[in-house]
Structure 1
Amino acid sequence: MLRRGAPLFTLTLFLGAALLFLIQLVFARMVLPLLGGAPAVWNTAMVFYQAVLLAGYGYAHWLTTKAGRKWQPGIHALVLLAGFACLPFAVPGNGGPPGDSSPIPWLIGVLTMGVGLPFFAVSATSSLLQHWFSKTADPDARDPYFLYAASNAGSLAGLLGYPLLVEPNVTLRGQAWGWMIGYAVLAVGVLACGWRSAQTTSSEVEAPRGRITGKRRLRWVLCALVPSSLMLSVTTYLSSEIAAVPLLWVLPLALYLATFMIVFAQRPLIPHEASKRLLPLLLVGVVMVIATVVTTPMSLLAALHLAGFFVAALVCHGELAKDRPGAESLTEFYFWMSFGGVLGGAFNALVAPAIFDRVIEYPLMVVAAALIGISSGKAGRHLAWAVVPVVLALVLVKPLGPMFAFGVASLTCFLLSRNGIRFALGLAGVLLVAGFTGEGGSRVLLTERSFFGIHRVEDDGRFHSLFHGKTIHGVQDMSRPKVPLSYYHPEGSLGRIFGAGVTGPVGAVGLGAGALAAYGRPGQAIDFYEIDPVVARIASDPRYFSYLSGSRAKVSIILGDARLMLAKAPDARYELLVLDAYGSDSVPVHLLTREALQLYLRKLAPGGRIAFHVSNLHLNLRPVVANLAHDAGLVCLAEDDEDVTDEEMKAGKFPSRWMIVARRLEDFGSLPDHGNWEVLGSDPKSPLWTDDHSSILPLLDFRLR
């Protein structure tokens, strides 16, 4: 398949795509210690990368249409050379982020100065090299789109290679130097491809594949927008509603890239028509589980959502591949594809959190995939037929329950799947009825969404519970509002820590429902460091939780990333620091590094202690904290308070794992004599986390529980 010039072009495209993914991951890791692990940081970075990628495609289109063939390699050589001005890349040292205003403009500036030029240069590689290849005498030059499969294979290699190979074994500084070497090799390969293209002439002139109209461009945009949005929607839905597993975002993104590899291959592994026949069945299954709010068994449901997304993306991208223009319009085609991807990403990252209080974008894109992926006939009686599953759902939901009603209604939609409009309207109707009918069970008092996730307060008649997706972040018994519950129970590890005597100021990273405030004493100060203003509003509202308003201590909430905000606190202020930010799927690694611990120690009063709540379904963080303590010359105690009876669970006590460190054993007071505390030494099998080197991969338990 790879004859004459094809191997050179293929390998160069593969390397360029891998570098394009790696630079995004590496530089974002560099910025995290300055701005925290907030999703807003990643969202902003992704929008920046997508915008520059679009600019790169636009530049490639301009270069191939406005500059002569012999001039193109020289012009692009200057662009590649300019990229070296930023290498090896590093975060510019001209001041940190602003503390009293939005850091987004600062972050955009840092990204532009740090990686803007090399990222722009690499982003043009794929479409530029495919255009140059189409001008060679290679037998495959008439249809160079198979090279796009090689490009996406490189992207997939970069995506999987970073968490599996690069991050666990190479420091950030080493990653930056390694990327620069790869960039130099890429520059040589790109120029070699340009020289080869300029020296040869295709012996055949390809006939144009249809006129490029505005309607055709719009379809390209939509076929790229829906899978882009659907990928992010599935990731959010799985993380918040099915399984809060770290690195889960890798799976949808890997499947997304794989679909491009399949549909643009010279001989696709999965025929397009087979994907289209399978799509209605999978979309019906996805709509059924969304409408019935089924969340178990987790592994099976996660597989269903991922399979539905994969086939939907395969069909949408297959439509793009079918409608691709001739090589003479290749760069324009990729520009509009990229534009659609940018719109999809911006919709999910920026628009949806501002206008939806739950993951509404997911069912919206499921319906859009049905419209795009399934052929539609005459408009006639589409709407009349689409009413049938809606009527069934409304009629059956009360007497038979939502599980049966929405199951039957969803299956009825499958009978409409010969027509895309009718099918999509039926799915939309079922989802709409399910949204208005509600889940049943506990009464939902509040649902609110921010950049940091979806928060929900539920009332089961006795307890108010604060959820972040599926993770419980706080519980209060409204009949005993002054008793701290869940992981903060008086008979648990934290209760024993406070029972050993804490009279001075307390700092707490992570607010939740504010249960720690119940331990406050008159005249004592408790400072909560919370990154999400929505959580602060919920915890401060007595209608939902009264821990803060009922505390005997003087309670303050300091908004912002804890590491940034703690740096502004007076040194030697706190007798106890409590860090509770590690329970979800997105662990803020920058709060568990050597540099972070040095900051905590500066803020700790003589004789003070630092408590870490390390309960996590999928990560064992004990060796991380133990190694940090050993490195700093501290004493480390740990307790697993996980033998909780059913009666205790019903009373509001949750299983938990806590660790506490201090400068001397005497600083723990009477604590070691109560409970099951054990002294921990370092773990030589686990590396020491620093701002320059950390990886959660060795700590992962991939089982969905």
Structure 2
Amino acid sequence: MALLFTITLFVSAALLFWIQPLIAKTLLPILGGTPAVWNTCMLFFQGVLLGGYAYVLAGVRLLGVRRQAALHVALLLLAALFVPATLSAFATQPSIAGDNPTFHLLWFLLKTIGLPFFVLSATAPLLQKWFAAIPHPSARDPYFLYAASNAGSLLALLSFPLLLEPNLRVSEQGRMWAALYAVLGLLVAACAIALWRDGKKATEEEPVSARDAEGQNAFTGTTDQDEAITTMRRVRWTMLAFVPSSLVLGVTTYISTDIAAVPLLWVIPLALYLLTFVIAFAKRQYIPRRVSSRALAAAALVVVLVYASGATEPAWILVLAHLIFFFVAALVCHTRLAEERPPVKDLAEFYLWVAVGGALGGVFNALVAPALFDTVLEYPLMIVLACALRPRDESAEVDARARLFDLLLPVGVGALAAALGVLVMQFEIGNVGRIMLVIGVPLMLINHFLTKRPMRFALGLAAVMIGSLVYTAGSGRTLARERNFYGTLRVTESGSGAFHRLQHGSTIHGRQFVDEERRCEPLSYFHRTGPLGAVFDVFNARRPASNVAIVGLGTGATVAYARPNQQWTFYEINPAVIEIARDPRLFTYLRDCHANAPVEVVLGDARLQLQNAPPRHYGLIVLDAFSSDAVPAHLLTKEALDIYLSKLAEGGLIAFHVSSRSLNLHRVVAGLAQSANLSALVFDDGEHDPINGKEPSQWVTVARRAEDLGDLNIDPRWQPLDKEARPSVWRDDFSNIISVFRW
């Protein structure tokens, strides 16, 4: 009997967490490839999960276990009518533009996948309730089924990017998912029959203590399970679920923003999140509380050093640091949650409050934080809060004097960080040395004096992050900040006052001279002495057509290459970018530098908006649609290339900006060019000239014929793309980030 319930829960959880990355990946092309797609989907999933748990709690109380079993089987059959077998509805949605398409996306998810997901989300806690009503040796403590459920979720998440996505198209996965849903229906029906046949007449078990329950977790010898369920206990459950939920979205946004918005980078944090549940709710305690608490303190010190310093390289080490911290923080919270779980009779309510905490994490990150903060402040806030939830060291003081020092010592450490930040600017010290003095020294003091008391430690970390702002402020005055669904934008003035710079996430997206005489010089990755300058030289010399399309507006710097007889069209999905580029207090390229050429800015996703252009309309298409340091993967697929080629005039050129700290994107373009039998050259320009505003950049230019590339063929800086070790051709339903990652 236990095996039947275990298999059913495993399949249910696998379906639940298979559909999440599958749907989000399918939605990426209509939402600009932004990491917020995943955060919004997670908000939806967490909200429906909460609804499912509320349904379980209310159903058991109003109907009893037996009658709710009949209701659930009926709902499972009804939901089968709404299962999207091919997911084609997702791929054919119209463009969604504007500052905040979050609610449009939530409504679309609700009406397409809402009912099946609701039924699946309720299945895990409900089956555990059914099992508890069956005469079985393990029925008095069915929490081991929770671990089995999370194991199924974990397997599905890891299988998606490693096995399913590389080998199956989205439509094929949709059909497989629908078939497995039918299998689940049979399994749930079998569980219901077992309940009706063998279930006890009473629907509630007597409370069982932590010591007496068979198969009980061996965390402590306490009787936490027998405590009355007070308001404060519910608050603790909610908070211990809220912090990891917010952290998983925060760390996912961090990774996706600077690498790519792809399922592989979504599922790693979520898989770690579920793994901590598996470990915390297992029958044995694999990681002692004291070990995980100390590991959290160490990981927090490292991640605060990385975060406060603004480090961006090497990417894999930084990503690893954030993931390790997240894993340990989630483990500490979920272990405390497992220790406080109630007896079987209150199981449904326990899961409900855990779901409330998870949903609040999604609401906070996807809705509240973007409305309240113009930077990604929610992530460091959750770092601090997670550290505050650490178990207190048994040797720590607990008197009033200690509580006073919980406030005074962090203030002192923060003041020290600020003072050191001012001091280092007076001396010629390398950047690494400055970081170690301003951030490293205060963190060493925290490690030595503040770790025993969680609140003192957490406030100390917050003080260092705040105090170190004095140091980072020395890099330039902030002129404007914008945050919306598509990310965080910041415009700064350089320390010398010579430039204005646009920054998205951690990456510079363009700059402009303040000096009027040089204001119309294209800078950064678009410098006249760089790859794009050479591309425009060839284009203007051959002139296959006078129309130019630029995917990605940025500061508008590329318009400085315009000629009077040309027609320029920019495609930009982010309204905030358009506002910044058109604000003459920030940048004036669009106002002053277009050489009287007509310039149009089209709001919306480039792939969808380009389809409205006439066939073979553009002589040059420039792809520069970055999200922080990553190109949205859906702009580098075969389907995307087909659109570009359909709009490219005979003899025209397509220029791909493929600069990335983390990915070898030129290899992706190489695969696309080879599959379409195109000629392609790459220019890896490593020159960095900060005085003249030039950044290193890498560009790939492709054309239908080699002769269309003109003088690029004889320019030694332009080289043929490496024909060896090319990755598979990316498609809308296939991408392989690992194959192009810079290790």
TM-score (norm 2): 0.85
Structure 1 residue corresponding to 2:509, chosen from 468, 473, 477: 473
- Check the 8 A contact 2:34/2:487 in 1, yes or no: no
Give deviations 1:412-446, integer Å, cap 9, x for gaps.
Answer: 44534444444444444443333466443344444
Q: Could you tell me how far apart the structure 1 residues matched to 2:309 and 2:661 are?
A: 25
- Check the 8 A contact 1:89/1:114 in 2, yes or no: no
Q: Could you tell me how far apart the structure 2 residues matched to 1:80 and 1:97 are?
A: 30
Deviation of 1:687 (Å): 3.6
Q: Could you tell me how far apart the structure 2 residues matched to 1:583 and 1:93 are?
A: 23
Matched, 1:156 2:154: yes
Q: Could you tell me how far apart the structure 2 residues matched to 1:679 and 1:289 are?
A: 37
Q: Could you say which residue in structure 2 is the equivalent of 1:657?
A: 698
Q: Could you tell me how far apart the structure 2 residues matched to 1:158 and 1:377 are?
A: 45
Structure 2 residue corresponding to 1:388, chosen from 383, 394, 409: 409
Q: Structure 2 counterpart of 1:697, which letter?
A: I
Q: Could you say which residue in structure 2 is the equivalent of 1:520?
A: 562
Return closer, same or farther for 1:292/1:135 CA change in 2, 3 Å cut-off: same
Query: Which runs of structure 2 are paired with 1:297-336 in the superposition (5 Å)?
Result: 300-336=317-353
Q: Could you tell me how far apart the structure 1 residues matched to 2:659 and 2:451 are?
A: 46
Secondary structure in 1 aligned to 2:66?
A: coil
Q: Could you say which residue in structure 2 is the equivalent of 1:266?
A: 283
Q: Structure 2 counterpart of 1:694, which letter?
A: F
Q: Could you say which residue in structure 2 is the equivalent of 1:97?
A: 94
Q: Could you say which residue in structure 1 is the equivalent of 2:172?
A: 174
Secondary structure in 2 aligned to 1:138?
A: coil
- Check the 8 A contact 1:582/1:614 in 2, yes or no: no
Q: Could you say which residue in structure 2 is the equivalent of 1:125?
A: 123
Return closer, same or farther for 1:266/1:238 CA change in 2, 3 Å cut-off: same
Secondary structure in 1 aligned to 2:228?
A: coil
Structure 2 residue corresponding to 1:588, chosen from 610, 632, 637: 632
Give deviations 1:363-415, integer Å, cap 9, x for gaps.
Answer: 22223223332349466652444212322442543446774355444444453
Q: Could you say which residue in structure 2 is the equivalent of 1:696?
A: 736
Query: Which runs of structure 2 are paired with 1:559-570 in the superposition (5 Å)?
Result: 559-570=603-614
Return closer, same or farther for 1:526/1:675 CA change in 2, 3 Å cut-off: farther
Matched, 1:51 2:85: no
Q: Could you say which residue in structure 2 is the equivalent of 1:198?
A: 196
Aligned residues: 694
Q: Structure 1 counterpart of 2:336, which letter?
A: E
- Check the 8 A contact 1:393/1:408 in 2, yes or no: no
Q: Could you tell me how far apart the structure 2 residues matched to 1:304 and 1:583 are?
A: 22
Q: Could you say which residue in structure 2 is the equivalent of 1:372?
A: 389
Deviation of 1:516 (Å): 1.0
Q: Could you tell me how far apart the structure 2 residues matched to 1:89 and 1:131 are?
A: 33
Secondary structure in 2 aligned to 1:557?
A: strand
- Check the 8 A contact 2:39/2:249 in 1, yes or no: no
Q: Which moved more, 1:274-283 or 1:201-210?
A: 201-210
Q: Structure 1 counterpart of 2:568, which letter?
A: I
Deviation of 1:195 (Å): 2.4
Give deviations 1:107-130, integer Å, cap 9, x for gaps.
Answer: 334323332222112111211111
- Check the 8 A contact 1:245/1:702 in 2, yes or no: no
Q: Could you say which residue in structure 2 is the equivalent of 1:489?
A: 527
Q: Which moved more, 1:485-494 or 1:347-356?
A: 485-494
Deviation of 1:477 (Å): 4.4
Secondary structure in 2 aligned to 1:577?
A: strand
Structure 1, gaps ≥5 residues long: none
Deviation of 1:193 (Å): 2.3
Q: Could you tell me how far apart the structure 1 residues matched to 2:87 and 2:260 are?
A: 32
Deviation of 1:630 (Å): 5.2
Query: Which runs of structure 2 are paired with 1:596-611 in the superposition (5 Å)?
Result: 596-611=640-655
Q: Could you say which residue in structure 2 is the equivalent of 1:145?
A: 143
Q: Could you tell me how far apart the structure 2 residues matched to 1:368 and 1:507 are?
A: 46
Deviation of 1:337 (Å): 0.5
Q: Which moved more, 1:304-313 or 1:209-218?
A: 304-313
Q: Could you say which residue in structure 2 is the equivalent of 1:83?
A: 79
Q: Could you tell me how far apart the structure 1 residues matched to 2:720 and 2:446 are?
A: 60
Query: Which runs of structure 2 are paired with 1:492-503 in the superposition (5 Å)?
Result: 492-502=530-540
- Check the 8 A contact 2:651/2:703 in 1, yes or no: yes
Deviation of 1:297 (Å): 6.2
Give deviations 1:642-674, integer Å, cap 9, x for gaps.
Answer: 4x356x576444443333333444544444344
TM-score (norm 1): 0.89
Return closer, same or farther for 1:591/1:306 CA change in 2, 3 Å cut-off: closer
Secondary structure in 2 aligned to 1:229?
A: helix
Q: Could you say which residue in structure 2 is the equivalent of 1:635?
A: 678
- Check the 8 A contact 1:239/1:469 in 2, yes or no: no
Structure 2 residue corresponding to 1:236, chosen from 233, 243, 253: 253
Deviation of 1:496 (Å): 1.7
- Check the 8 A contact 2:687/2:696 in 1, yes or no: no
Q: Structure 2 counterpart of 1:689, which letter?
A: W
- Check the 8 A contact 1:389/1:412 in 2, yes or no: no
- Check the 8 A contact 2:260/2:631 in 1, yes or no: no
Deviation of 1:562 (Å): 0.9
Q: Could you say which residue in structure 1 is the equivalent of 2:219?
A: none
Deviation of 1:266 (Å): 0.3
Structure 2 residue corresponding to 1:537, chosen from 571, 579, 587: 579
Return closer, same or farther for 1:625/1:352 CA change in 2, 3 Å cut-off: same
Return closer, same or farther for 1:302/1:233 CA change in 2, 3 Å cut-off: same
Identity of aligned residues (%): 46
Secondary structure in 2 aligned to 1:507?
A: strand
- Check the 8 A contact 2:525/2:695 in 1, yes or no: yes
Q: Could you say which residue in structure 2 is the equivalent of 1:558?
A: 602
Q: Could you tell me how far apart the structure 1 residues matched to 2:548 and 2:255 are?
A: 36
Secondary structure in 2 aligned to 1:267?
A: coil
Q: Structure 1 counterpart of 2:566, which letter?
A: Q
Q: Could you say which residue in structure 2 is the equivalent of 1:116?
A: 114
Give deviations 1:543-583, integer Å, cap 9, x for gaps.
Answer: 44333233113332222211222223344432211112257
Deviation of 1:265 (Å): 0.2
Return closer, same or farther for 1:443/1:112 CA change in 2, 3 Å cut-off: closer
Give deviations 1:142-197, integer Å, cap 9, x for gaps.
Answer: 11112211211222211111111111110111000111122122222222223223
Return closer, same or farther for 1:456/1:90 CA change in 2, 3 Å cut-off: same
Q: Could you say which residue in structure 1 is the equivalent of 2:622?
A: 578
Q: Could you tell me how far apart the structure 1 residues matched to 2:352 and 2:584 are?
A: 52
Structure 1 residue corresponding to 2:467, chosen from 426, 433, 456: 433
Structure 2 residue corresponding to 1:404, chosen from 413, 431, 437: 437
Q: Which moved more, 1:649-658 or 1:561-570?
A: 649-658
Return closer, same or farther for 1:221/1:676 CA change in 2, 3 Å cut-off: same
- Check the 8 A contact 1:86/1:117 in 2, yes or no: yes
Secondary structure in 1 aligned to 2:591?
A: coil
Q: C-alpha root-mean-square deviation of aligned residues, in Å?
A: 3.2
Q: Which moved more, 1:73-82 or 1:444-453?
A: 444-453
Matched, 1:455 2:489: yes
Q: Which moved more, 1:154-163 or 1:475-484?
A: 475-484
Return closer, same or farther for 1:432/1:511 CA change in 2, 3 Å cut-off: same
Q: Structure 1 counterpart of 2:403, which letter?
A: H
Deviation of 1:614 (Å): 2.5
Structure 2, gaps ≥5 residues long: 209-224, 425-433
- Check the 8 A contact 2:534/2:712 in 1, yes or no: yes
Return closer, same or farther for 1:80/1:545 CA change in 2, 3 Å cut-off: same
Return closer, same or farther for 1:379/1:122 CA change in 2, 3 Å cut-off: farther
